[in-house]
Amino acid sequence: MAAVQVIRSEWTKIRSVASTVWTLSLAVVVTLALGMLISALSRSQFDNMPVTDRLSFDPTVVSFAGMTLGQLAMIVFGVLVVSNEYSTGMIRVSLAAVPRRGTFLFSKIAVATALALLVGMVTSFAAFFLGQAMLGPLGTRLGDPGVLRAVVGGGLYMTLIAVFSMGVAVMLRSPMLSLGILMPFFFLISTILGNVSATRKVGRFLPDQAGSRIMRVVPRIGDDTPYGPWGGLGIMALWVVAALVGGYLVLRRRDAQ
């Protein structure tokens, strides 16, 4: 089967599964709603903030506060795109139709990545503009130094989160096991390692900690992170590549079960 036909087939699979549509919709709604709420609260409480917090106040990052939960939906999307076929047994049919497993995996990842990128970019730009509207005089503009980079980076960050989850799901093949590992990793382990002084230097190289730096415009006071915004996104991209390579190796060596 030609690569173009495989890609069309994968697009049909993704759009015909209701759960993937719902998870992407949830990513948009949660990110925008929470971002607007936090932005409004930040505006009302700005005068009561400590001086250090006001000096490092970053209106762009504040508008992206909803991505903390929005990335949860992107993780679920990435896992479901891959593992749905394993849980239903359709993976046998898919691999019988497309024996070249590299072509099969590339087509699935390419279609899902394109969709995640579209949703991520729309969500990032919408979150920024709505957040700045809530911040009012505390807000910033898209043309200010570093802001466009941060907004575009927000969309890339959400996309990479989804693709990383796809790679892990290919390796583990179980939606429950994949989510059972990814959720604690991003929402518990990474947070702890990034905030405990003894492990902070390790935590800053985890995919979410490194990648999220692309969304920051105003540096924190006393921040000694050894990489910049694009360097952090590059570190996250390396994690994604490692997950995809691992997924491909597992897919190539194992039977369709």
Q: Smallest Cα–Cα separation from 79: which of 190, 172, 191? A: 172
Q: Are 140 and 205 in contact (CB under 8 A)?
A: no
* Residue keyed to tokens 């693709």: 163
* Average pLDDT value over all residues in the chain: 88
Two structure tokens written together for 146: 């570093």
Most confident range (mean pLDDT) of 31-40, 218-227, 243-252 is 31-40
pLDDT in tens, 101-153: 777 788 889 999 999 999 999 999 999 999 999 999 999 999 999 999 999 99
At 83, the pLDDT band (50, 70, 90 cuts) reads confident
This prediction's pTM: 0.91
| Mean pLDDT on 237-255 | 88
Query: What pLDDT is recorded for position 187?
Result: 86
Three-state SS across 165-196? HHHHHHHHCCHHHHHHHHHHHHHHHHHHHHHC
